[in-house]
Structure 1
Amino acid sequence: MTYRNVVAAVVRALAAETINSAGGCDFEPKVQCAKQKGEIVGKEAALLTDCWVFGRLHKQLAPQLWRALVAKYSTHDERKHSAILQLINTVQSPATKRFRECAVLTWAIPQVAGIQGKRSAAVLPAGWYDITNWDNDGKPESTRYRWRSSIRKALDNQVNEALAAAHEILEAEGLMESCAA
């Protein structure tokens, strides 16, 4: 199996742990079963590859880069929440802690279109996305927007760095489609 792009690989790998009923990447039973029946193919092979990629990226990426990917792309609520909390403590900003918490949380769980957030994607209550609720100190609006912008830019830079590193890992393993011009 090869991936079209690095984002697709990361999203599939992070979603792999929530696909099966065991709540984790259970490639061992699939390998054992394949030894009895033959080769692993189809969806089983794709899931096995996704689980393998999850493990490889988790092990080889720097912890702060892994956390950024998990916070941005994971569908596993507990891991995503844990990564968000860790990012809140590492993000550099002159903003108050409450402001940093709100900025990181709304970056990791962006507001999506839909009627009152009723979508299949996880969303926060509408009040979380209102930047005026993030600061009780009466800072000017321009300051709040500047703080939010710098926090999001720093987090996006971490994600981009993590995706570049993940691309190198997947390219070295031969899991990326090559584009012939």
Structure 2
Amino acid sequence: MIYTSTLAAVVSALAAEAIDNTSKQAWQKLYRPGYADGGSLESLMRSSGEKGITRMDADCWVYARLHSQLIPRHWNALMAKYSTHKGKKVQAIAALVPLIASPAPGLFVQKAVTAWAIPPMKGVEGKRSTDMIVLPAQFYDMNGWDLEANHERTRRRWRKGVSDVLEEMVGEALREAERILDAEGVLLNMAA
């Protein structure tokens, strides 16, 4: 299985985690945590024989590999930004909040991280058939994030600061994920 980009691999792997599949996958039989002895996608492909490896197997393997190899803040940044699994997205948000250095009050930082990870969906208003987290429109009103009623310009600066730190974490995480996936040979080499 070859992915066209790191982002495509990450998004696909995180989406696979949200699918409830309780049967033991082929990748789980081969995967052992730890880079040196964790098995490889190539060995998974060989062991699958004629039936071949499914996209779900590859996505689950990539998920497990990234989860074991990325440092927690990078993993949590990717989970908060790209995961569709409600529980894991919420856990990742909670893990990121204490990592954000900001002059803003704690409540503001918590709300800013949540709003970054769960942006408002246009035209939704809580009536969506998918299993996505949808927050009420009033959640995004920064007036409720700052009980001290600081100036609008100050709140915007705080929110941008939080967002910038989170985007930097995601950028670092994607670069590290690319290094891992490139070493595994699962990224399409555009130069070849």
Calculate the TM-score normalised by the size of structure 2: 0.83
Paired with 2:28 and 2:68, the residues of 1 have a C-alpha distance of 22
Paired with 1:115 and 1:73, the residues of 2 have a C-alpha distance of 19
Which SS does the other structure have where 1:16 is aligned?
helix
**Preserved contact between residue 16 and residue 25 of structure 1 (Cα < 8 Å):** no
Runs (5+) with no aligned partner, structure 2 = 31-44
Deviations along 1:97-146, whole A, 9 cap, x unmatched? Answer: 11011000000001111142433342211111111111110100000000
For 1:86, which of 86, 92, 95 is the aligned residue?
95
State the Cα distance separating 1:30 from its structure 2 match.
Answer: 8.1
Give the equivalent residue in structure 2 for 1:15: 15
Deviations along 1:41-84, whole A, 9 cap, x unmatched? Answer: 3xx52111111111110111111111111111111111111110
State the Cα distance separating 1:40 from its structure 2 match.
Answer: 3.6
Q: What amino acid maps onto 1:64 in structure 2?
A: R
State the Cα distance separating 1:39 from its structure 2 match.
Answer: 3.0
Paired with 1:45 and 1:80, the residues of 2 have a C-alpha distance of 25
Please identify which structure carries the higher helix content: 1
Runs (5+) with no aligned partner, structure 1 = none
Which SS does the other structure have where 2:80 is aligned?
helix
Paired with 2:150 and 2:84, the residues of 1 have a C-alpha distance of 34
Q: What amino acid maps onto 2:50 in structure 1?
A: E
Give the equivalent residue in structure 1 for 2:33: none
Give the equivalent residue in structure 2 for 1:127: 138
**Preserved contact between residue 27 and residue 48 of structure 1 (Cα < 8 Å):** yes
Spell out the pairing of 1:26-65 with structure 2 (5 A cutoff).
Answer: 26-27=25-26, 38-41=49-52, 45-65=54-74
Is residue 2:166 matched to residue 1:167?
Answer: no
For 1:71, which of 72, 80, 103 is the aligned residue?
80
Is residue 2:148 matched to residue 1:149?
Answer: no
Aligned length: 176
Distance 1:25 1:169, change over 3 A: farther
Paired with 2:96 and 2:161, the residues of 1 have a C-alpha distance of 14
RMSD in angstroms over aligned alpha carbons? 2.5
**Preserved contact between residue 88 and residue 101 of structure 1 (Cα < 8 Å):** yes
State the Cα distance separating 1:18 from its structure 2 match.
Answer: 2.1
